[in-house]
């Protein structure tokens, strides 16, 4: 009788990570509509919960001596979102940009790639906005004598005041770090490995002020809802400015950062010759 081999706990090396990413991309592209959409809704809600945590932690932060520390703590709090996505299982548009590794090798068609991205994007939007609405119904904005609500409106307003090119660049930088976090998780053997792999890249992008399209699907609608709830409608961002001045350029930047700066580069390094 053969004795089973003990489980391996050593982290996967990059070439094995690339093969694993390609296989994951094939599986993700083949998901039927209903499970893909529902998992995308969950991902939007998970990222929104990280954004809720961030908003509370950064409320009252002074733009002075403690500014950097507040950003660091906010970034650590926001990690909740991607930890839930990766460990609990969900379909996040920005992370799914790594499907290009399977697409570049011809294992996923262009139609299947765009189908996955489209369904995931819409599902993420539904989950994030629904969470924003539920948070407002719960009167979350009233915490701290209304300070949390004021912070949420300020965050949303600032995001809609970015220049178009600036927002694209911030989106590219953001999703490079998000996809690097997902990439590092591919090397993990345990849940603890995955959580540790997520912490530093995600904390870095949040602390640095980079822009994540799915997070903004919570941040800006929450600011719009909370401004209206406080009777200050018109003083915060509008839906038009959200879609045109933030979501569009940030999404384009996210695609560049995740698909080109991470996915395409690692495909060229580890999978191109085999293909």
For the chain, what are the domain ranges? 22-270
The string of pLDDT tens digits covering residues 195-234 is 999 999 999 999 999 999 999 999 999 999 999 886 655 6
CATH class as words, domain 22-270: mainly alpha
The string of pLDDT tens digits covering residues 237-265 is 999 999 999 999 999 999 999 999 999 99
Distance CA 67, CA 74 (A): 11
The answer, yes or no, to whether residue 60 has pLDDT greater than 60, is yes
Distances (CA, A) of 44 to 16, 215, 217, 227, 231: 29, 8, 8, 22, 27
Residue 143: other Cβ atoms inside 10 A = 15
For residue 239, give the nearest of 229, 254, 227 by alpha carbon.
227
In sequence order, what are the residues at sequence separation of 6 or more whose Cβ sits closer than 8 angstroms to the Cβ of residue 203?
A: 72, 75, 76, 78, 79
Question: Considering the chain, what is the average pLDDT of its residues?
Answer: 94
Residue 54: other Cβ atoms inside 10 A = 26
Distance CA 66, CA 193 (A): 30
- Both structure tokens of 183: 């990439």
């Amino acid at each position: 009788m053969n004795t089973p081999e003990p489980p391996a706990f050593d982290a996967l090396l990059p070439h094995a990570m690339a093969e694993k990413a390609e296989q994951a991309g094939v599986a993700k592209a083949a998901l039927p509509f209903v499970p893909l959409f529902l998992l995308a809704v969950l991902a939007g809600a998970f990222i929104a919960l990280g954004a809720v945590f961030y908003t509370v932690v950064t409320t009252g932060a002074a733009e002075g001596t403690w500014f950097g520390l507040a950003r660091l703590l906010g970034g650590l709090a926001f990690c909740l979102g991607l930890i839930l996505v990766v460990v609990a299982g969900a379909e996040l548009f920005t992370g799914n940009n790594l499907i290009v590794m399977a697409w570049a090798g011809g294992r996923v068609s262009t139609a299947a790639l765009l189908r996955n991205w489209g369904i995931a994007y819409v599902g993420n939007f539904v989950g994030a906005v629904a969470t924003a609405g539920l948070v407002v119904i719960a009167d979350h904005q009233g915490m701290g004598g209304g300070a949390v609500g004021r912070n949420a409106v300020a965050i949303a307003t600032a995001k809609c005041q970015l220049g178009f090119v600036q927002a694209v660049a911030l989106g590219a930088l953001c999703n490079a770090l998000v996809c690097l976090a997902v990439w590092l998780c591919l090397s993990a053997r345990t849940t603890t490995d995955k959580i540790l792999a997520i912490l530093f890249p995600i904390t870095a992008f949040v602390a640095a002020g980079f822009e994540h399209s799915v997070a903004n699907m919570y941040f800006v609608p929450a600011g719009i809802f909370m401004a209206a709830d406080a009777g200050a409608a018109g003083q915060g961002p509008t839906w038009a400015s959200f879609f045109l001045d933030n979501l569009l350029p940030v999404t384009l930047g996210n695609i560049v950062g995740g698909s080109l700066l991470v996915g395409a580069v690692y495909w060229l390094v580890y999978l191109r010759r085999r293909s």
